[in-house]
Structure 1
Amino acid sequence: MDRVRRAARRAMFAEKPAWQRWSLRVLMTLAWPVGAVTETLYYLSVLPPDEIPRRALAWADRGGDMLALAFSRNVPPREYYTYRLHQPDRRAWITACLYAPESYPLLSWLNRRNGADNNTVQDKSRFADLCRRHELPCIATLAVFRDGSQLWPATPFIPALPLLWVKDLSGSRGAGAARWRLDAGHYHNGDKQMTFSPEALARQWLPRDCLVQPCLDNHPALAALSDGTLVDFRVVTGIHRDGWVEVVATLGHLPCGGPSGRRYIVGAIDRNNHCLISPTLSGFQIIKNHPDTGAEITAQPVPFWPAALELVVNAHKKVPEFSRFVFLGWDVAITPEGPLLIETNSGWGAFNHQRGIGAPLGWTCFPDIVAEYLDFSEHGDAACD
């Protein structure tokens, strides 16, 4: 994993001309101490009550340890704080994690080197079309709007379903997403602040680059683990050079709080009993029961979980456009009929997955797959320039 992290740092700005690449790296090197000190002071100020040092010397020790790891091992203070690296049982994580500043450049460089076209996964309409062509179960597409015109279907689209979901064609983290409910002949958004007739709503979508889909129902077994909206699961897969695909990490997103105050409970899925493990609210607060329903989060196995894993593994392996990505993060919905693909992402959030699974990526198959694509020298460095 040390070699992988060095390769990640060498991959930063690798697509730039040499003079830009080295200039940017010098600027980052000079800015790193300032950023590390600023972040250290911030995270010392927001320690949870049970971790606040009682003596001034202990404060200094904690801050000094943060800075020492930042300067000697390039460990960002945010990850030090989140992964609780001050605890003796967590010190082994230091060299086994992939840290946020290293994740994006490494994955981008690997995918470019493997001939991946990011538009394949960035464009949600293109993703849905590939799924349909390869007969992969996915959410139905009702309409596609791009550049001020309706691309699909051929006839003017007038919504009629009782529940609709709209999202931007590109972007991440639910960019442009909105839920629309039909009531008394008019559509209302989630908090009922906007109301349109079906024809007027279609005109609202026309200037946007967006995709219209039906709202899905959760599997009944997952209803108590949601505030009424869709529970989704992120599965990260990696493809070896011989085409064999492995599951690297999993993460469940359980919505709570409703449209006006939505937050998410996250946690990995246990491979044996298919239940959520180590659930945390908003990534930090350990939680046992769903705040809205009171349901015990770790008691309910995820239905169709083996089928969901098989679906994403087959998608990564069998679709040529997807198999050019070394790693992909698949978003999956579990409906009463089975799993459906929502979308996939080339940037899948190593930070959140390491927080969610309670283990660093270095303890998964991740570094072995990366190593297959890197040309390590005898000193353990990879040629990324």
Structure 2
Amino acid sequence: MRRAADRGFNHRQALTEEWLRTRVLTRVSGVRFLPYQLRQMSREHFPVMLRREDRKSAARIAVDLVKVSARWRCLPFHYFRYGAYRRGMSAEAVCAFLPETVLFHRLLPHVNRDTVALDDKTSCKRILASAGIPQPELIASGDRRIGTTADGEAVSLTDVLNLARGSGRVVVKPARYSSGGSGVVIVRLGEDGFDLSAYANQWGTWLVERHVPQHDDLAMLNPCALNTFRVITLLREGIADVLYVMLKLGGAGSTTDNSAVGGIQIRVHTDGRLDRYGYDRYLDAHTHHQGGSVSFAEHRIARMTEVRELATRCARLFPQTPFIGWDIALTPGGPVVIEGNSSPSLAHVQRTHGGVAPELVPALRSVMSRPII
């Protein structure tokens, strides 16, 4: 009887937490999201629109904005983010772009119920390792006071650096609460004067892993950074499907592949073919990377079947997080998982695939309202 009562209490507690997360916190986060949207609008998207010669008339844009606002019941920041003001884009095509507000504050909280195991990069690596998923080798993880090796041994922060010496380049990154490549540092220990203690004081929890080499198919496009695939998966009734695949190329001279540092995203087809154009965060189209001469249209990536299969294997390990964006690197030995993201970048998807609302919204709704227990 006591066990049944405890289970009932825990169930009620879970339902309360679910109500707070989906009904209260989404409204709070939505309000806090507004200043970010305004900054992006004023600093990036609106100035880009004013420079475009192919934009619609002011009257046409005004009509579009009314239609988009009525369709999605939110402020239409995404209209400018995705360049829907360009001539040739019909009202139907414009409304097909899914607003970030709708995805992150109305849909995703009801889809991805439990994200801690995925978003904590150290926990995620251990779950993936338990299933034999190939990934960069973990050297150590820790916080501001102490580190822990991959074998579970407690070590000082100084000892972490000593363990990593001789490993060539290593990657240091926050274990929680970072996005867009923020906090990711690639160093060659003993040569760069890296201070792990200062890093930990700034970022809190962290992990150090070995840097992996990349396949020639990607190095010839951009040799400066480890370029990765963003593979979006959706898990429905135990079956994982790949919805979208993009290749993320780092900006010229950048060591990461994020769009915030000049990166480009390119749609990747099932057979490994790249689209003719890749796009940066300003929606400028590129036929090749700034640091190379290989045309995207003439390039095909090997082993894409393995990349997609690896993403679906990973997706099945996180049943309470059905919608995940996997960052996967392709090494000479095959694909390895860098990390998973419970809030996949909608911008990456819609820059490369166009408006995805007609197919993505019904897909996400199909996995909403699942029972907690």
TM-score by length of structure 2 reads 0.77
Work out the CA distance in 1 between the residues paired with 2:26 and 2:355: 33
Q: Which moved more, 1:298-307 or 1:69-78?
A: 69-78
Task: State the 1:215 CA deviation.
Answer: 1.4
2:179 equivalent among 168, 172, 189: 172
2:7 matched to which residue of 1?
none
Q: Structure 1 residues 158-167 or 144-153, which shifts more?
A: 144-153
| SS in structure 2 at match of 1:290 | coil
Once the two structures are superposed, the pairs formed by residues 336-351 of structure 1 within 5 Å of their partners are 336-351=332-347
> SS at the partner of 2:263?
strand
The whole-number CA distance in structure 2 between the counterparts of 1:104 and 1:225 is 32
1:354 match = 350
CA positional deviation for 1:84? 3.9
Match of 1:47 among 43, 46, 50: 50
Is 1:143 matched with 2:150? no
Amino acid at match of 2:349: H
Task: For residue 276 of structure 1, report the CA deviation from its aligned partner.
Answer: 4.2
Distance change in 2, residues 1:249/1:45 (3 Å): closer
Structure 1 partner of 2:191: 187
Question: Where does residue 100 of structure 2 map in the other structure?
Answer: 100
Q: Secondary structure at the match of 1:256?
A: coil
Task: Report what 2:125 is aligned to.
Answer: 128
CA separation of 1:295 and 1:76: change in aligned 2, threshold 3 A: farther
* Preserved contact between residue 227 and residue 258 of structure 1 (Cα < 8 Å): no
Contact 1:222 1:231 in 2 (8 A): yes
Deviations 1:106-138 (A, max 9, x none): 1122222xxx2x211111111111111111111
Q: Deviations over 1:294-345 (max 9, x none)?
A: 221232212211101000101112x2xx122121110000011000000001
SS of residue in 1 equivalent to 2:250: strand
Superposed CA offset, 1:47-83 (max 9, x none): 3433246xxxx32332343244324543644322343
Q: 1:250–1:357: 8 Å Cα contact kept in structure 2? A: no
- For residues 211 and 219 of structure 1, the distance between their equivalents in structure 2, rounded to whole angstroms, comes to 24
Q: Distance in 1 between matches of 2:347 and 2:26?
A: 26
1:231 correspondence with 2:227: yes
Residues 21, 272 of structure 1: alpha-carbon distance in 2 compared, 3 angstrom cutoff: closer
Q: Which amino acid aligns with 1:166?
A: V
- Aligned-partner Cα distance in 2 for 1:263–1:252: 14
CA shift in 2, pair 1:17/1:346, >3 Å: closer
Alignment correspondent of 1:6: none
Q: Secondary structure at the match of 1:51?
A: coil
Contact 2:270 2:305 in 1 (8 A): no
Residue deviations 1:87-123, cap 9 Å, x none? 45543234433210011121122222xxx2x211111
| CA gap 1:61/1:357 in 2 versus in 1, 3 angstroms | closer
Q: Which residue of 2 aligns with 1:7?
A: none
Q: Give unmatched runs, 5+ long, in structure 2.
A: 1-17
Aligned to 1:367: 361
Query: Is contact 1:250–1:269 with CA below 8 Å preserved after alignment?
Result: yes
Alpha-carbon offset, residue 205 of structure 1: 5.2
1:259 positional shift: 3.7
Contact 1:283-1:355 at 8 Å conserved across structures: no
1:154-303 equivalent positions in 2, closer than 5 A: 154=153, 156-157=159-160, 158=162, 159-160=164-165, 161-170=167-176, 171-182=178-189, 186-188=190-192, 195-196=193-194, 201-204=195-198, 207=201, 208-240=204-236, 242-259=237-254, 262-303=261-302
Distance 2:136 2:230 in 1: 15
Counterpart Cα distance in 2 of 1:266 and 1:17: 31
Q: Which residue matches 1:5? A: none
Give CA-to-partner distance per residue, 1:188-246, whole Å, 9 cap, x none: 2xxxxxx35xxxx4555564421111111111121122242100111010011x21111
TM-score (norm 1): 0.75
What is the CA–CA distance in structure 1 between the aligned matches of 2:69 and 2:75, rounded to whole Å?
6
Deviation at 1:257, TM superposition (A): 1.7
Contact 1:239 1:369 in 2 (8 A): no
Distance 1:142 1:209, change over 3 A: same
**What percent identity do the matched residue pairs reach?**
18
Q: Which residue of 2 aligns with 1:119?
A: 116
Answer whether contact 1:43 1:77 (CA < 8 A) is retained: no
Q: CA RMSD in A?
A: 3.5
Match of 2:98, SS? coil
Question: Following the alignment from structure 1 to structure 2, what is the Cα–Cα distance between the partners of residues 265 and 333?
Answer: 16
User: Structure 1 unaligned runs (5+)?
Assistant: 1-12, 189-194, 376-381
1:293 is aligned with what amino acid? G
Provide closer, same or farther for how the CA distance between residues 351 and 369 of structure 1 changes in structure 2, counting only shifts above 3 A.
same
* 2:78 aligned partner: 79
1:17 and 1:126, CA in 2 relative to 1: closer, same or farther beyond 3 A?
Answer: closer
* Partner SS, residue 235 of structure 1: strand
